[in-house]
Amino acid sequence: MSLNADELAAHPKFILGIRFHAGRMRGMFEAGPRLARLLASQQRWLLTQMAYALSMERDMANPASGFTAVGLASEITPFKVASRNTVLSFIDELLTYRFIACEPGEQRKRPRHYEPAEVSHQAMMSWLWSNLCALEILDGGDRAPQFEAHPHWIRAMQPRIARNCLHDAAWREPSEKVGLFLWNDAGGLIVDHFMSQIDLDGDDPDHFMVGPIDSRALAADFMMSRTHMQRLIAKAAQQGCLEWQQPSTSRKPQLLISRGFVDEYCRWQAIKFAYVAEAFEWAKATVR
């Protein structure tokens, strides 16, 4: 079953899928912080997804296909996601940390073709599997086991998801409040952390409880300055996304996240999940 974004956002169990996926992304960060940061902001998410998509589309009979600096820039720059210089710096970072490598024999050629390292491939497999598991929370389907049984489907699914997300302005350009986090370095990690911790059983009509947050420890964990973390949280509080509460029984203030922000975030995430569901059904029907 494939649900559209509006149906997903309206589903009563969608918040459970969001919380599950957020927890999985938090776990990916703990397992490989530098690799997980490639999905930690909207710009880097789009760059990473399109770089991987191009590598999946490599056709040795077509020299223009595959992941090259020119190819990635031509996909990204028309949407004003990143400049050509940002694309080049991004590729240099991937090479430095060995998340990609030149294809064999391509070191001296121009343009150079790159391919994902095994650790990058496994991370993308895990990301896609997590999305499929989250969808199954809604309808009890078996997408994840089928994907595990047909791992080659990723070559068809991931480029389709990446391009649909890049071309859809509603996903590419999140709302102001969601964008406050997503256009920030490591902002996606912060939202994932908050979403993975929310208490869905609370009776506050306006907020979900997140719990005590140690901004110093969280900033160190996400490799960002404490000042930057505090400014981001303060700005989110000013916009009504977050709120601090001082319980009478505890010294530590408790962080609350507004239901309005969670609804807005879920509506945005529903766009991507709908593309994941559609790509799965398409691969299942067309790929052998």
- Write the pLDDT tens digit of every residue in 233-288: 999 999 999 998 876 666 778 899 999 999 999 999 999 999 999 999 999 999 98
User: In this predicted structure, what is the pLDDT of residue 238?
Assistant: 95
Q: Specify the pairing of strand 207-212 against strand 254-258.
A: antiparallel
Q: What is the DSSP letter of 41?
A: S
128 vs 191: CA distance, rounded Å: 19
Q: Give the model confidence (pLDDT) of 122-164 as tens digits.
A: 999 999 999 999 999 999 999 999 999 999 999 999 999 999 9
Q: Give the three-class secondary structure for 114.
A: strand
72 vs 63: CA distance, rounded Å: 14
Please state, in angstroms and as integers, the Cα–Cα distance from residue 162 to each residue in 44, 124, 251, following that order.
Answer: 12, 12, 45
Lowest mean pLDDT among 92-101, 222-231, 256-265: 222-231
Domain spans of the chain?
1-288
- Provide the mean pLDDT of the chain: 92
User: In this predicted structure, what is the pLDDT of residue 218?
Assistant: 85
Q: Is the pLDDT of residue 168 over 70?
A: yes
Give me the residue label for tokens 């930690």.
Answer: 40
Cβ proximity of 255 and 193 under 8 Å: no
User: In this predicted structure, what is the pLDDT of residue 28?
Assistant: 86
Please choose, from the candidates 275, 193, 174, 219, the residue with its C-alpha nearest in 3D space to the C-alpha of residue 24: 193
At 106, is the pLDDT very low, low, confident or very high (cuts 50, 70, 90)? Answer: low
Q: Is the pLDDT of residue 1 over 70?
A: no
Per-residue tokens: 84 = 């050509």
Tell me the helix, strand and coil percentages in the chain, rounded to 5: 65, 10, 25
Q: What are phi and psi of 114, to 5 degrees?
A: -115, 155
At 185, is the pLDDT very low, low, confident or very high (cuts 50, 70, 90)? Answer: confident
Per-residue tokens: 147 = 């994907």
Spell out where 163-231 has E strands. 207-212
Q: What are phi and psi of 190, to 5 degrees?
A: -65, -45
Give me the residue label for tokens 């998801």.
Answer: 161
Peptide bond into 247 cis (omega under 30): no
What is the residue type of 103? Answer: E
Q: Give the model confidence (pLDDT) of 32-67 as tens digits.
A: 888 888 888 999 999 999 999 999 999 877 888 899
Q: What is the mean pLDDT of residues 166-175?
A: 97
pTM of the model: 0.94
Q: Is the pLDDT of residue 30 over 90?
A: no
Per-residue tokens: 115 = 């391919």
143 vs 284: CA distance, rounded Å: 10
User: In this predicted structure, what is the pLDDT of residue 108?
Assistant: 63
